[in-house]
Structure 1
Amino acid sequence: MPAVLPIVHMATKANSVPYPTLIEVDPFIPADQQRGLHNRWHPDIPAFATVKPGEVFKIQCVDWTGAQIGNNDCSDDIKNVDLTKIHNLSGPIAIEGAEPGDCLVVDILDVTPFEKMPWGYTGIFELENGGGLFAREFNSRAAKAIWDFKGVYATSRHIPGVRFAGVSHPGLIGTAPSAELLATWNKREGELISQHLNAVPPVAFPPEPKGAYVGQDLPHEVMDKIAKEGARTVPGREHGGNCDIKNLSRGSRCYFPVFIKGANLSVGDLHFSQGDISFCGAIEMAGIITFSTSVIKGGIEKFALKQPIFLPSPVDPLYSAKLIFEGISVDYHGDGKQYNMDATVAYKQATLNAIAYLMKIGYTREQAYLLLSAAPIESHVGAVVDSPNACVTLALPLGIFEHDILPKEEGLTKKDFGQCAIRSDGVI
């Protein structure tokens, strides 16, 4: 009898269906020349695509400035960034069956940079054009660091001696506001602005028709309404928005309140890495995010959902050894003023303590500032009960450094790490 040949099972294209990419962008083309993007929140922005609950889909995102920053050794692009065009979001994506009062469940399945753009940047922004946590204290002038991505790791020619695994995540993700909620935002933020006229940097960003963009074919009157009323995408609000939470990474599950039919989910401002608070910008990148969604009917009432809640990613880099800096609510790096239980002041002091320490090792103030914005640092509120001093800590992972940074009896060894990318006029 002839030999019976074994049945060979092979991969078949027919049974291998890729997840669809609902929005495609080019990270090297300005955002305002591409479809499927928008940089204002408004309920009249129609959905660019629609999905059914349970579907897995991909969304491509430009960097938050929309290709205004280049991979070079000068920070003039940071200095001159047009802030009316920032935080470009991909979307909106409507989810079938979502209604006002529901909860939109969003599973973040993956976040990756583009293969053709394996780099990102961290920027210090000008006091008069963007600012940052220490804009006034440092009289900030533009500087930046370019980071190269090699798998999960990031290194920078502008901050030598460090290498760390990124916790990639969307800095900005949220659902669309209702007309009533949008009016509430504009009213309360407008009142805050009126109380702090001419503040530098601004305390809030009101609606601004200049630079407003929706990458869809809309009637002129609709686009004019969006430009006039649309909320800027700069801050986080009740719907999510720009909260910069590093734990919203691969494997996270997010619960968003739904305010309009379809929910209209938008996402952008992807980060390769970031600490618990970004001082002047995380490692900003363009890239691809993969989602799956579901809807819980009546979820706002069921969960008392005033703002989003989430489950953090189960995937985190293991940096167990840390050097921890404390800060209290006394401005001892400034005028010495005592504040009452002010956690923001305490956090600033912890950060300034860490910057001063890194400068003893040889990093410039700008390099230290950028590093703390990019690396996976952790912050915790130690105490907000022992009047008058709140206590906040900043934990710097030891494992990200290629050299020993621990305190020793003989003191710290100071090295020469050069300088990050600065303005062409040399001003820092």
Structure 2
Amino acid sequence: MRVEIDLSTPLHEGGAGGHNRWHPDLEPIARVQPGEEVWVALRDSRDGSLTRESAHASLLETPSVAHPLTGPIWVEGAEPGDVLEIDVLSYETDDFGWTGIWPGSGFLGDLFTEPFLARWELADAVARSEEVPGVAIPGAPFAGVVGVAPSHELFAEALRREGALASTGAEMDQPSAELAAPQWAAEGLRTFPPRENGGNIDVRDLVAGSRLSLTVLVQGALLSVGDLHFAQGDGEVCIAAIETGGAITLRCNLRRNGWKPRFPAWESPGSPAPEGRRYLATTGIPLTDDGSNADMDLNLATRRALIEMLDYLGAEHGLSREQAYTLMSVAVEVRISELVDRPNALVSALLPLDVFED
């Protein structure tokens, strides 16, 4: 099956085939069967507004449309409580990409007061840019945003906890009608921070051959994908990867038994994770034990990821909590996957699956 989109018109100007807000009531643009291979066209994170002709100053004139997503896609038979297992089969990318620094953007934003745009030529599986001369970046394409629709309960909870945090003066994007697509979903959740439904997780390991597991929150799952990257470092520290458009080919399956992750969980085939080993990773965002949202708190995000791993090892491998905690200390790698999408940094805890002998 192919899910085509209208690339001639940006989503916020009425282009068909997608959305840029999370909302439980979005209408699906396609329906797929579990096990069916699906080719999905993807816009770049600024919906084509940056090109080879763009200059540094163009960043200041570019509408903040992130993220234009393709979807939602209805997965037949998906019910709340199921686990949607998304197998990434392949990617295609355009032959042009870009990386932007906006004044004040990213983890070191206080050090950068002027816009800077790197324009990348993507050819022969590497990226090269005249703005960053003498460098060739190997391609490892992945989708930065993959998510299912939030339930009405999660929708309300995310609005509540993020609104409470914003009221303290924390900087973040709150619901807004500006550039919303569809316009009726203007009060929907912004796509910048990752949440329990997935979204902007920016896990660079979601390359071809990987699997992402998301707990289904609404009937049909309502899967959406976007924010294609040709390559990215852990953290995406300046707030942009090598952004590009293209397509993903994926296959969805449903699991009803076993462990069900609260946050996205993923498996990697070993690239760009350490070569030769397959990893299972749990993730976490900065929520306290009572569900309050903190602002980019890596300690809390790590706590959430590790508690998820503790639960996984008990449910899937029958380990006691003491056994699981010991294994985590000697084998699990903790990695910052996303460091800039306020208020939710995302931490991954990676377990090499070859430690199990049976």
TM-score by length of 1: 0.62
**What is the Cα deviation at residue 308 of structure 1?**
1.3
What does residue 189 of structure 1 align with?
A: 162
Contact 2:42 2:70 in 1 (8 A): yes
Please give the secondary structure, in 2, of the residue aligned with 1:184: helix
Aligned to 1:288: 247
Quote the Cα distance in structure 2 between the aligned partners of 1:380 and 1:45: 33
Instruction: Tell me, in whole angstroms, the C-alpha distance in 2 between the residues paired with 1:315 and 1:236.
Output: 22
Distance 1:73 1:190 in 2: 36
Q: Partner of 1:231 in structure 2?
A: 189
Corresponding residue number in structure 2 for 1:46:
27
Q: Is contact 1:273-1:283 (8 Å) kept?
A: yes
What do residues 107-142 of structure 1 show as CA deviations (whole Å, max 9, x unaligned)? 01111113xxx1100010122xxx211112x14321
Cα deviation for residue 34 of structure 1 reads 1.7
Equivalent of 2:175 in 199, 207, 212: 207
On the 8 A contact 1:167/1:316 being kept in 2, the answer is yes
Q: 1:106 to 1:275 in 2, by over 3 A?
A: same
Q: Is 1:311 the equivalent of 2:267? A: yes
Q: Runs of 4 or more off by more than 3 Å in structure 1? A: 313-320, 378-381
CA distance in 1, matches of 2:271, 2:78: 29
User: Residues of 2 paired with 1:253 and 1:379: CA distance?
Assistant: 19
Instruction: Give the alignment of 1:213-362 within 5 angstroms.
Output: 213-214=181-182, 224=184, 226-228=185-187, 230-280=188-238, 281-297=240-256, 299=257, 302-316=258-272
> Take 2:274 and 2:201, find their aligned partners in 1: how far apart are those partners?
24
SS of match in other structure, 1:141: coil
Aligned to 2:108: 134
Quote the Cα distance in structure 2 between the aligned partners of 1:252 and 1:318.
13
CA distance in 2, matches of 1:157, 1:135: 23
CA distance in structure 2 between the partners assigned to 1:308 and 1:29 by the alignment: 31
Would the alpha carbon gap of residues 81 and 46 (structure 1) be closer, same or farther in structure 2, given more than 3 Å must change? same
* Aligned residue number for residue 18 of structure 2: 37
**Which letter does structure 1 place at the counterpart of 2:267?**
L
Percent identity between the aligned chains?
35
Shift of 1:314: 4.0
- The CA RMSD over aligned residues, in Å, is 2.3
Partners of 1:142 and 1:124 lie apart in 2 by 5
* Aligned-partner residue type, residue 148 of structure 2: T
Partner of 2:343: none
Q: Which runs of 5+ in 1 are unaligned?
A: 1-19, 215-222, 321-341, 345-377, 382-428
Report what 1:111 is aligned to.
91
Deviation at 1:258, TM superposition (A): 0.3
More strand by share: 2
2: CA distance between counterparts of 1:206 and 1:314?
36
Give the Cα–Cα distance (whole angstroms) in 1 for the partners of residues 120 and 22 of structure 2.
Answer: 30
Distance 1:51 1:251 in 2: 20
TM-score (norm 2): 0.74
Unaligned runs of 5+ in 2: 277-296, 300-332, 337-358
Query: What is the alpha-carbon distance in structure 1 between the residues aligned to residue 114 and residue 67 of structure 2?
Result: 21
Match of 2:44 among 55, 63, 73: 63
CA positional deviation for 1:317 = 9.3
